[in-house]
Structure 1
Amino acid sequence: MSSIFGIILTVICVFGGYMLAGGKLEIILHSLPYEMMIIGGAAIGAFACGNDMHTIKSTGKDILAVFKGPKWKKSDYQDLLCLMHELVRISKESPVKVEEHIENPEESALFQQYPRILASTQFVELICDTIRSMLMNFDDVYQVEELLDKQLEGMKEEALHGSHALQNMADALPALGIVAAVLGVIKTMASIDKPPEVLGGMIGGALVGTFLGVFLAYSLVGPFANKVKSIREQEHYFYALIREVLVSSLHKNETQIAIEVARRSAPKHQRPSFTSIEEALKELRKVAA
């Protein structure tokens, strides 16, 4: 919602201020389709040329995320902590029983209680693979911590590909605006025999290209890149909770303490309260009973 408000405010202030200062929109509106074709087409073409198909598709999802916000909500943080509590508790009581959940999570009654988490294949694999490694006597705290750090770092880097691609586009847009302006000047110079008022309009139209390149770079694409980066980094905290729970558990802490360590590492505005976690776990035990 804030992104839509920001775009509307930017457009109103920029073009409203221009009109209040005595500027006329006719010349901008006349040149806009052609300049956008040159600048936008070159930017999209360069974007497609410089990125693989996976990055292109993920960037499309990133742009939607700018308006939708982070995927994981406060309720998901609570669900994750409850899920990890049960998995850690079961693994301590009976490694055989926890294998029933991690070997086939789609059919696990425990995982099925959290459909949003279960729907994220990459996330479920991270949980199951790490617990599976722990059950294979790969339980050295520092080994598990290093393993998770590397995997989480790779996931974060992959998630930020779209942000990097958008930022590269934003960096290129001012130069592409100059390209459009130069083409407009070439067109003007070819009509040097025209009256001054005609030449003035043509030069003004050429300068629209420079304006659009800078405007799009710093008022739209650049902020989009920053917002995508912020969203993906915030979502990364959700994945990092797994590391906090499992590493704390390997330090021989009680399950409840491991969950509390992870809960406190969650972002403040997404962090569930201690009481809400306790109540959710009580409900979970009632269902299991």
Structure 2
Amino acid sequence: MISLIGILIVFLTVFGGYMAAGGKLGIIIKSLPYEFTMIAGAAIGAFVLSNHTSGAKHTLKDIKKVFKGPHWQPGDYHDLLCLLFELIHLGRQNAVAQEEHIEMPESSAIFGRYPRILADYDAVEMICDTLRSASMNYDDPHQVEEVLEKRLEAQMHHAMHSTHALQTVADGLPALGIVAAVLGVIKTMSSIDQPPEILGKMIGGALVGTFLGVFLAYGIVGPFATRLKSVVEEDQNFYALIREVLVANLFNHATNICIEVGRQNAPGHVRPSFGDLESSLKSLKQAAE
């Protein structure tokens, strides 16, 4: 909703200010279809040219995040900590029983209690792979921590592809607007024998190209890229929390301490309160006994 409000404000202030200053929309409306076709078409073509098929699909799919916001909500962080508590607690009591859950998470009763997390391939794989590594009795937990760090970096690099692609388009739009404007000037020069009032309209139409390129770059596509980047970075905190808890587990801290490390590393606006989380963990512990 906030993104739609932002777009509305951009259009109202730009075109409202133009009309309030005495500008007339007629010449813009008349030139818009042709200028927009040239600029948007060239931008789309450049986007397709600079991205492989999966990257282009990934970007188009991610655009909806601008309006939907982060995938992971405060309740998901609470559920994640509860899930990790159950798995770690079980593993310290019965490693064989834990193995059944991490080898087949799709049929696990523990994972099944948290369907939103179970539906996320990256989160489930990260949890299961790390717990599987812990069961191998690594001599150096720092080695697993380094592997997790590299995994998160690779995941972040992939997730940021869309925002880089959109920003590249935004960076190119002003230049494409100039291309459209130059073509309009060329057209105008070919009609130099026309009266001044006709030439004025033709030059005005050409300048619509420059306006449109700059407007789309800094009013629409650029902010889309910035918003998408913030959403991706916020969602990445979810996976960083997994790393913090599982690394603490590798150092054999008490289970509750591992979970508290994760809770305190969660961003403030999604961090579960200590009391609520402690109550949930007590209930889980009692149910397991």
Question: Does the CA contact (< 8 Å) of 1:139 and 1:250 recur in 2?
Answer: no
Q: How far does residue 136 in structure 1 lie from its aligned partner after superposition? A: 1.6
Q: Is 1:161 the equivalent of 2:167?
A: no
Q: How far does residue 286 in structure 1 lie from its aligned partner after superposition? A: 5.7
Q: How many residues align?
A: 289
Matched to 1:255, the amino acid is T
2:216 partner SS = helix
> Counterpart in 1 of 2:34?
34
Q: How far does residue 285 in structure 1 lie from its aligned partner after superposition? A: 4.3
Matched to 2:94, the amino acid is S
Question: Does the CA contact (< 8 Å) of 2:184 and 2:205 recur in 1?
Answer: yes
Q: How far does residue 34 in structure 1 lie from its aligned partner after superposition? A: 0.7
> Counterpart in 1 of 2:239?
239
Matched to 2:182, the amino acid is V
> Counterpart in 2 of 1:136?
136
CA deviations on 1:41-72 (whole Å, 9 max, x unpaired) are 00011001100112111111221000000000
> Counterpart in 1 of 2:152?
152
Distance in 1 (CA, whole Å) between partners of 2:242 and 2:197 is 68
Greater alpha carbon shift after TM alignment, 264-273 vs 137-146: 137-146
Distance in 2 (CA, whole Å) between partners of 1:53 and 1:89 is 43
Unaligned runs of 5+ residues in structure 2 are none
> Counterpart in 2 of 1:56?
56
> Counterpart in 1 of 2:194?
194
Question: Does the CA contact (< 8 Å) of 1:160 and 1:229 recur in 2?
Answer: yes
% identical aligned pairs:
61
> Counterpart in 1 of 2:210?
210
Matched to 1:51, the amino acid is N
> Counterpart in 2 of 1:225?
225
> Counterpart in 2 of 1:256?
256
CA deviations on 1:157-202 (whole Å, 9 max, x unpaired) are 1000000000000000000000000111111111112111111001
Q: Is 1:15 the equivalent of 2:15?
A: yes
Greater alpha carbon shift after TM alignment, 225-234 vs 274-283: 274-283
> Counterpart in 2 of 1:124?
124
TM norm structure 1: 0.97
1:67 partner SS = helix
**Moved >3 Å (runs of 4+):** 282-289
> Counterpart in 2 of 1:171?
171
Question: Does the CA contact (< 8 Å) of 2:69 and 2:231 recur in 1?
Answer: yes
Distance in 2 (CA, whole Å) between partners of 1:285 and 1:264 is 21
> Counterpart in 2 of 1:69?
69
Distance in 1 (CA, whole Å) between partners of 2:44 and 2:8 is 23
